[in-house]
Amino acid sequence: MSHETWVCTAAVLAIGVLLLLIIKFKVQEFLALLLTTLIFGLAVGNQPNDLMKLIVAEMGDSLGQLALVISLGAMFGTVLQRAGAAERIALTLVEKFSDRTVSWGLGLAGFLVATSVYIDVAIVILVPMLYGVAQRTGKSLLHYGIPLCAGLSCAYTFMPPAPGPLATAGIMNADIGLVILFGVICGIPAVSIAGPLFGRFIAKKIMVVPPALAVAGIGGGSASGSASPASLASPASSSGGGPGTADSSSSARSTGPGAEATGVMEMSPGRPGNPDTLPSFWGVVGALLMPLVLILIGTVGRVIGGDSTVVTFLTFVGHPVMALLITSLFSLWAFGLKRGASPGDLQRMASDALGPAGMIILVTGAGGVFGGVLIASGLGDTLSTAMRDASVPLVVFGFLVAAVMRISQGSGLVAMITGATFSSPLAESLGASDATIALTCIAIACGGAGFSHVNDSGFWMANRYFGMSVAETLKTWTVMKSLVGLTGFCMVLILSLFIS
């Protein structure tokens, strides 16, 4: 067997080892990725000491910028969620949209919220707010819940500064501004089809009434009572939940949705439950858009190029680290100090945010290490030759790897990191353009977003918070998630026709 053939065979076996460690032996993802990297590196002929030096070097290279961006993004999201930003957006859009168009407003609400708020926290807070609306109108809860969850799912996997797409962009060395741009272009059709359109269709087929206990706890569907549905959470959530588990992260598996929601509500200044004490709608929207706009400004500066003062300023404020630092400092003032939080409260919020962020950083770093060892093995050159012969586009490869991992082990974050890990050496060998690499990040996100089923704790959160049977959850949540992934991927394929 030639060395190239053995490297490809070892890479396939490495995926099998990774799945075995995570699924069968329940090894934490960071450890599973690190162990797989060691096994693969030794199997393809690396000397043990040289392999350790490579692993340490790659860990540092992988996390230089990414650790800062994920940490700052986590602080920003924590401040917003505890100020009631998610509730404010949902309440305002429900009020502004008519009964005929409210599902579109909820899809938009989910898309805005999930760029910065962990998706499982958003579900805990926002889905119970829909119980009163569904009870008042007599429509199936799915009419409102599916659009909301489609927006949450899409933004959380497609759009930085959410952890999953940030991790993917970091491993792929992608331009985050281009990832945001393509995420919006691919995300809007995905939310529209998987959200309001599918929600309206499935709500006519399956009548889901709000869980009786939650309705009693919520009353009129206000923001209060979000702790009530925690009692409905599946036991699986405590071991498989955590920030973003439904889509992009299973890294904080020690916290279930009930515990997370309680922490969110305890330190919220001037709350809970009174819409009059929530932050202003436009203030929240401005804060959510601020990092995206700043990063896009930086992308514009890099496109213009040159050494002028204006370009230097644009690229400086638009650097992802600087953009999120500015946004985090603004949110600490606008949604913390200005709303009555003490410096001690802000310190505790920032510390709480760094716990789950730290696990995401470690898992992402381990994925980067795995990718570095794959590059050193020569896998990228071997795969690029094979893909040229088979005419397989890079975006298709990234989507398929992420989708296989998503279906196999359930975690969207692990699926996206694995997809990026195997696509990164391939992109390097192919000499892919910045636009192609950014579009591949979205293709990987599509694979990581779709196909949620019983091995995903997000599936069980939907099962309990919507009060559905397993069969109904497969017909609704699983189909919605698959539509998000497949619609987004169709948009990726269309865009790839115009990008070289």
Q: Of 43 and 259, which is predicted with more confidence?
A: 43
d(CA 19, CA 430): 28
Which pLDDT does position 263 carry in this prediction?
A: 34
Which pLDDT does position 387 carry in this prediction?
A: 82
User: Residue 232 above 80 pLDDT?
Assistant: no
Q: What percentage of the chain has pLDDT greater than the value 90?
A: 50
Distant-in-sequence contacts of 42-50, Cβ < 8 A, 24+ apart: 43/10, 43/13, 44/6, 44/7, 44/10, 44/377, 45/3, 46/373, 46/376, 46/377
Hey, what are 201's tokens? Answer: 């269709």
Q: Rounded mean pLDDT of the chain?
A: 84
Omega within 30 of 0 (cis) for the link into 272:
yes
For range 318-346, the mean pLDDT: 91
Which pLDDT does position 269 carry in this prediction?
A: 38
User: Residue 444 above 90 pLDDT?
Assistant: yes
User: Residue 273 above 80 pLDDT?
Assistant: no
For range 421-449, the mean pLDDT: 93
For range 262-271, the mean pLDDT: 37
Choose among 324, 135, 296, 276: nearest CA to 214. 135
User: Residue 180 above 80 pLDDT?
Assistant: yes
Cα dihedral sign for 47, 48, 49, 53?
A: positive
> What residues contact 25, with CB distance under 8 A and at least 6 apart?
none
pLDDT band at residue 21, thresholds of 50, 70 and 90? Answer: very high
User: Residue 58 above 70 pLDDT?
Assistant: yes
Choose among 318, 377, 497, 298: nearest CA to 13. 377
pLDDT band at residue 9, thresholds of 50, 70 and 90? Answer: very high
3-class SS shares of the chain: helix, strand, coil, % to 5: 75, 0, 25
Which pLDDT does position 194 carry in this prediction?
A: 96
Which pLDDT does position 458 carry in this prediction?
A: 87
User: Residue 88 above 50 pLDDT?
Assistant: yes
**pTM of the entire structure?**
0.82
Name residue, tokens 């087929």.
Answer: 205
The answer to whether the CB of 247 falls within 8 A of the CB of 119 is: yes
User: Residue 464 above 70 pLDDT?
Assistant: yes
User: Residue 57 above 70 pLDDT?
Assistant: yes
What's the farthest any 2 CA atoms get from each other in the chain? Answer: 71
d(CA 460, CA 468): 10
For range 201-225, the mean pLDDT: 64
Cα dihedral sign for 66, 281, 480, 238?
A: positive
Choose among 83, 60, 65, 111: nearest CA to 325. 65
pLDDT band at residue 212, thresholds of 50, 70 and 90? Answer: low
d(CA 191, CA 155): 9
User: Residue 31 above 50 pLDDT?
Assistant: yes
